[in-house]
Each structure stands twice: as structure tokens, then as C-alpha cells.
Amino acid sequence: MRIKKPCPFNNYEFDYEESWLNGLAHDGLLLSKEGRFSYEFEKSDNHCRRYRIIPKKHEEFSDEELQLFQDSGWHMLLESDDKTYFYSDDPDAPDLFTDEESYRNYLKKNLRRYRNNIIWSILIVAVWGANLFLRMPGNQQFITELANNSLLSEISYLALILFLIEANASQGIGMLKCRRRILNGEKAECTAAFYIRKKAELILGGVIVSLALVALVITFTGSGRVRGDKVFSYNEPSPVLFREFSPEEWDFVKDNRQSFSWDDDKGVKYDYYLYNSSNLTLRKGCSENVYYAEAMNYNDWELPAYTSLTYDFRSENTADKMLRRQISNDMDLDRNDPEKENKILEISIDVPGADYAGYYEKRDGGSDLQYLYLRKGSKVVYAYYSGKMKLMDKLQLFIDQLEAGENL
């Protein structure tokens, strides 16, 4: 009869695992197979099996060592990750290690090489985690990114960071504790309470991983990106497109998309794409982004850059929050600025039918940057433009977009 049991121990708790396996063997359950998440046991009348887990890969054992083990009644059972499992059914066979000193030295030697791995792993996760955190949607400048990734993506980022920290901390702490046990000669007894605690930790880790995965899947399946030439055949709902806003400049962008060359002293390379998205906070959204990806001597050019979007959030509150966050970013307002609300109100303009409308202009280097914000209920229309045209001259296009609910 085969019985499956989860093994909740990490790599550095091999001595607890050993104690757990010995306890099960005493009750007549012998380990037969090792799976990814659980071990398989067979019922047996043999109650005197003993196990020893050595934190070393099978190929790292010398032939002589394995022969010595075998001659003394110890046989290899299986290999898992960086551990090798031995067993003995002979009650007269001496323990693998009969003096504490040799056991301690043996383990210390084998654990030393893991220490560097753990240190490197923690460093990599720290840098990666910090990088992920800084790139989190809330820190992005463009509302397209903000809205496309929104709150859900922030959760998935956080979940991923948490998972990485949890996995590494558990391994690192496990190794330090193991080292302490070895140096102090402590015996690892796997009591029922300890086993239950480890199982709970395993379940918690599993929940974190599952949440991270679900959040990531929903985020990525909820958005799509159309780039390059495919934009011309795009028939889905769209915001106010650049070709509608400024047909002349659109031709220029199209023509200059591939014209960039390092051999010329002048040149510009454009990129543009369309987004459509849907996720937990965003019912439906689409955006267009036109920007110069690379340019030489661009100060001599009046290069247009354009971002336009239409989003329908799942709640008015989220739409308002997102818009305010975008305005703050565009105006370079400090998050804790007490005048923030007033400054947002100062740029408001009168647009009939809109719950909020704002226009903001600023000079950055040699370019005039223009921003338009419209919100009606949960729907947001946003435009950013830098170029020869005036955004306000085409205001009606965006108002129409705000009112045309069927576009989304």
C-alpha cells in the first residue's frame, strides 16, 4: 500500500527530515519514491530501518566511500537536489557517523560551498527586487503604463518580490540555523508540532506563489500591444489617433520611422504603438504612443511626440485617482505637497459635460509640452503632445472621444 506525504523541509533541514523519516519508519512506513512536492511511502513490517541524509550529490561520493558505506550495511536509496539518502535495515550496523567530531567536520565541509551560493542568491534578489520595486507602475511617468499595469500589476510585482524574498530568506535562515545546530552539536528532533509548523509555512509559501502567478497571468492576458506596421491594419476601438490629430506630422513620422542612420549627421527614428487593455481595475482601455526612439541633432527639428488614451475604469474613484496621479507626475508635484490639490485645480478648464477637465503646458529644453486631461465618470481621456500644433485647437476631437462611449 502506497501513501503520499508532503515533505515540508527545506534543503538545510535535512537533519529534521532524517528524524521525520526515522519516525515514520518506526511506524512501518518506508520511503520509496521522492516527488517534487511529496514523498511516497510503502507500508512494511520492517520497523528497524534507519535513514541518513548527507548534504552531498551522489556523484560527489568517491567509490571508496560508497563501498565503505555498503560494507557497513548502508545503502543508497535516492538522490534529491543536493542530498543523498542512505538507509540501513541492519540493527547491528554502526551509525554512519560514530563520533560527533567527524560528523561535524564532514557537514561543515559540505555546507561551506552552499554558503557562497546563498550569499550570491540574496544579493541578486536584493538588486532584482529593488529594480522591480522602482519599476513598479506607480513610479512610471506615462499614464499608458500606469493604466495598463494598474493596481493589479502592482500586486503581482509585490507578490513576486515577496515570493523571492521569502524563498531566499527561508533558504538563508535555514542554512544559518543548520550551521548553528552542527556547531553546537544539537540533535534535530522532528516533533509533531515542528512538522505542523513546517507544513503551515509550506502552504503559506504556496499561497504566495499562486497569488503571484494568478495576478501575473490576469495582468498579461488582459493587455495587448500592437506595434509598427500592424498599427495600419488595427480595427479595434482606438483613442484619438495621431493621424486624426495631425495628418501632416503623421506622414512625417511614418516616413522617418526607418530613416535613422548613424552615417548621417541628421536623422530620426520613430516608434509608435497601440495598446488595448482590460484588467481588474480597468474595464477597457486603449492608447496610442508616438515617440522618437532615437534621434540625432533633434534640437534642429521640431519633432512631434504624442500620447493619447481613452480608458474606462471599473470605478469613478479609480479613474479620479489615476488621473490625479498622472497630473501630479506631469506637473512634477511632490507626493506630500500640501498645495497639490490647489495646483491641480489651477489648471482646470471649463468643458461642458466633463467632471474634470484640465490643460497644462510647460517648457522642457527646447520643446513646449502640452497636456490635456478629461474625465467623465469612470472614463478618462488623456493627451500629451509636443510639436508644432496646438492641442487646444483640436479639443473637440477629445471631447467627442469622452462622450462616445461606444468607442470602447
Partner 1 sequence: MGKKTLEPITESMYYVLMCLHNRNMYGTEIAECVRKLTDDRVKLGPGTLYSILSTFETESVISKISKEGRRITYAITDKGETLYQNELQRLRKCLWDAQRDLSFEESDSRVSTEDVKGTAGELSTI
| Strand order, beta sheet including 29-34 | 2-6, 38-43, 29-34
Residues 64 and 42 sit within 8 Å (Cβ to Cβ): no
Q: Which is nearer to partner 1, 99 or 393 (CB)?
A: 99
Interface with partner 1 (CB under 8 A), residue from 94, 185, 206, 405 = 94
The CA-based angle 11-12-16, given to 5 degrees, is: 100
Give Cβ neighbours of residue 215 (< 8 Å, ≥ 6 apart).
Answer: 152, 153, 155, 156, 159
Give Cβ neighbours of residue 333 (< 8 Å, ≥ 6 apart).
Answer: 327, 340, 343, 344
CA distance 153 to 289: 20
Helix axes 14-26, 192-221, angle to 10 degrees: 120
Q: Which is nearer to partner 1, 56 or 375 (CB)?
A: 56
* β pairing state of 2-6 and 29-34: unpaired
Tell me which stretch binds partner 1 (CB under 8 A): 67-75, 262-270, 299-307, 384-392.
67-75
Size of the chain in residues: 408
Q: Which is nearer to partner 1, 173 or 183 (CB)?
A: 183
String marking each residue 7-46 x if it binds partner 1 according to CB under 8 A: ----------------------------------------
Tell me which stretch binds partner 1 (CB under 8 A): 97-105, 153-161, 173-181, 186-194.
97-105
Interface with partner 1 (CB under 8 A), residue from 64, 334, 393, 406 = 64
Grid cell locating 269: 527614428
Q: Which helix (H) or strand (E) holds 51?
A: strand 50-54
353 makes contact with partner 1 (CB under 8 A):
no
Residue 202: CB minimum distance to partner 1, A = 30
Residue 57: CB minimum distance to partner 1, A = 16
68 makes contact with partner 1 (CB under 8 A):
yes
Question: Which of 250, 15, 248, 281 is closest to 151 using CA atoms?
Answer: 281
Tell how far CA 11 is from the center of its chain: 24
Phi, psi of 218 (to 5 degrees): -65, -40
301 makes contact with partner 1 (CB under 8 A):
no
185 makes contact with partner 1 (CB under 8 A):
no
Please say whether the dihedral angle defined by the alpha carbons of residues 21, 26, 28 and 30, taken in this order, is positive or negative: positive
106 makes contact with partner 1 (CB under 8 A):
yes
Q: Which is nearer to partner 1, 54 or 274 (CB)?
A: 54
Interface with partner 1 (CB under 8 A), residue from 46, 72, 131, 315 = 72
Give Cβ neighbours of residue 251 (< 8 Å, ≥ 6 apart).
Answer: none
Q: Which is nearer to partner 1, 96 or 178 (CB)?
A: 96
Residue 52: CB minimum distance to partner 1, A = 8
Tell how far CA 185 is from the center of its chain: 40
Tell me which stretch binds partner 1 (CB under 8 A): 63-71, 209-217, 232-240, 346-354.
63-71
101 makes contact with partner 1 (CB under 8 A):
yes
245 makes contact with partner 1 (CB under 8 A):
no
Interface with partner 1 (CB under 8 A), residue from 3, 46, 67, 119 = 67
Residue 55: CB minimum distance to partner 1, A = 12
Residues that bind partner 1 (CB under 8 A): 52, 54, 63-69, 71-72, 74, 94-99, 101-103, 105-106
